[in-house]
Amino acid sequence: MNIALITNSKSGNTAQLAQALREAFAASGSAPICDIELPDAPDVAQLEDASSRALAADAVCVGFWCDKGSCTEGVAELLERMDGKRVFLFGTCGFGGSQEYFDQIVARVAEHLPQTAELAGAFMCQGKMGTGIRARYEAMLAKNPGDARAQALIDNFDAALAHPNATDLEAAASSVVRALNF
């Protein structure tokens, strides 16, 4: 099976998942025919290159970081070009509340796929966030001591520091193997 692996990773979390997928491909005897790091705002040439290389594959794995509950505009533009392709989505987000939350993000991202594309599967997990975000949450709490929402944001930030972990990486790898049947 020819697989295109396209990754958009801001902090390295989604890149870790992409590496787990590469290892799953290698264990099965497959290898990506293209392995592309897509910037957040790809120019026309980068988008054309990524989409033309992806369209040559049997299946396309697209990794993204969660940007305001969805993917970046660059990933959305790429997905819109996946006419007739089997697509596996994978990504990370700072909040990890529940599988239901992850499923909502995947559903929003999948809306960018053309009707002729097949969403073969998806995997999402929590990922660590930049330290500036914790500082912002701490400032919120300092401004309003006892603010339960600000404390919950700090607690979530601290929990996210451990992700993606070995369990997340293993789950991502097994998800892609199941989804793409290799």
Q: What is the pLDDT of residues 52-71, one digit of tens each?
A: 999 999 999 999 999 999 99
The yes-or-no verdict on residue 102 having pLDDT over 80 is yes
The yes-or-no verdict on residue 95 having pLDDT over 90 is no
Cα-based distances in Å from 103 to 97, 108, 122, 140, 173: 11, 9, 9, 29, 18
The yes-or-no verdict on residue 96 having pLDDT over 90 is no
pTM: 0.93
Q: Half-sphere exposure (CA, 13 Å, Cβ side) for 84?
A: 5
The yes-or-no verdict on residue 49 having pLDDT over 80 is yes
**With bands split at pLDDT 50, 70 and 90, how would you rate the model's confidence at 76?**
very high
- For the chain, the average pLDDT equals 94
> Vertex 127, ends 14 and 19: CA angle to 5°?
30
Q: Which amino acid is at 89?
A: L
